[in-house]
Every structure is written in C-alpha cells, then in structure tokens.
A and B are shown apart, each in its own frame.
Chain A
Amino acid sequence: GAGVSQSPSNKVTEKGKDVELRCDPISGHTALYWYRQSLGQGLEFLIYFQGNSAPDKSGLPSDRFSAERTGGSVSTLTIQRTQQEDSAVYLCASSPAGGQGLSGANVLTFGAGSRLTVL
C-alpha cells in the first residue's frame, strides 16, 4: 500500500482480555518496528523485525507481549491478559532496510497508530 496501515484504530477492552493489533507495512519494506506512546510520554521502542525475524525484542515490557511477522509483511502485536497500564497508542513503522545506508538516514514511516484503552 501507499502507507503503513494499522488496525484497529481504536480498541477498548476489559482488564484481563487479550488483544491483537495489526500492522500492514509499506510494500517492500524489510524492516518493521513497534513503538508505543503512553499518555504524556515519548515513543517507547518495543520490537524490531528484519524480514520475519525479530533480532531485537528488548523493548517488550513483559512476557504478556508478543509479536510476529509473516511473509515479510504483516505484523501482529498481541497483548495477553491486558492491564490498565497497557493503555497507550501503539505505533507501527516500516523502513526499506534496518540500518543506515550510504545514501543517508534510514527513515521510518509510521502508521496512524492503534489506541488501546484497558478498562
């Protein structure tokens, strides 16, 4: 697609339920990132994919969080047994490659985000 697409745009769930957030990156982009932005906070790195593998999962806050990417394209972020502190905007970004190139900065293109509210 023309841009990074995320769904749902808004999700309200009850504490303890599982949620899945989906990201459709720009076609051909091999690198995919998940970030989250809690109220009043900056963008917090969660996980990085290069192709289908995730060489860096260091930002996932707990083992309730997991993510996968299939076919080098769509990614799903799953949060199990949601807690109120999971409430945030979850942002997905993609880029042509995972590292900086000779041509300049490897720019991330972000989706509009999925706003998660846990009651």
Chain B
Amino acid sequence: DQQVKQNSPSLSVQEGRISILNCDYTNSMFDYFLWYKKYPAEGPTFLISISSIKDKNEDGRFTVFLNKSAKHLSLHIVPSQPGDSAVYFCAASETYKYIFGTGTRLKVLA
C-alpha cells in the first residue's frame, strides 16, 4: 500500500518556464510534507517543507502548495534552470517516520 505517490516518473520543461511536480498521499494523519532533490550518486538534499496547518510555503524560486481536502501537494519551481535537473522526491511524515514517493525526474532544457 503506497501511502505517498508521485504519478509522473518524468517531466521536461524549457529553461525559464515553470516546473510543477505533483504528489498525492492517502494518510490524513501526516503532519509535515517535504520535498527533496537528488542528483546521481549523491544523497537526497532537503528543498522545502510545509506543515499540514498551512496551504503554501515559499522559498525563493520554490513554492510548495498543500491541498488537504484533495490530499495533494505540488512543488512549483519558477523560473526553472538547467541546474534544477534532478530527481525530486516528496515525503510525508507522521511523528518520526518519513514516507517517500517514487520520485519524478525533472529535466530542464536549455
């Protein structure tokens, strides 16, 4: 039973445009949601988080939106840059445990 799903395995976006990565979850008890970025041969690095009591959090070019009624969150990157090309994982936590999605590979075309 996959509690966190990223249904798009890959996404290609032109440099300068907006990238939107989506994530769905099933457990309404999740209280924090995080996005991680992963380059090949490196560990995932933290990007941005959002608490379940908020619906939006912004950090520079990165904005995360949370729709609790739909159990859906999305990561917006604008403007997209070639250096953003990586695999993006969403994660949801309930107390100490983090459940990760399967990732979306983003390719930003120059």
- Chain A contacts to B: CB under 8 angstroms: 4, 31, 33, 35, 40-45, 48, 50, 56, 91, 93, 98-100, 104-113
Given contacts A33-B98, A42-B100, contact A105 B43 (CB under 8 A): no
Task: Give chain B's interface secondary structure class.
Answer: strand
Interface stretch, picked from B14-22, B45-53, B66-74, B78-86, is B45-53
A105 to B96, CA, bound (A): 10
Please determine whether A108 and B32 come into contact, CB atoms closer than 8 angstroms: no
- Chain B contacts to A: CB under 8 angstroms: 4, 6, 31-32, 34, 36, 41-46, 49, 51, 89, 91, 93, 95-103
Contacts of A109 in B (CB 8 A): 46
* Smallest CB separation, B39 vs chain A (Å): 10
Instruction: Count A-B contacts at CB 8 Å.
Output: 64
A18 to B89, CA, bound (A): 31
Given contacts A43-B100, A105-B34, contact A99 B43 (CB under 8 A): no
Of the A-B pairs whose beta carbons lie under 8 Å apart in the complex, a sample of 25, sorted by A's number, is A42-B4, A42-B6, A42-B89, A42-B101, A43-B44, A43-B91, A45-B100, A48-B97, A50-B96, A56-B97, A99-B96, A100-B93, A104-B32, A104-B49, A105-B32, A105-B49, A106-B93, A108-B46, A108-B98, A110-B36, A110-B45, A111-B43, A112-B41, A112-B43, A113-B43
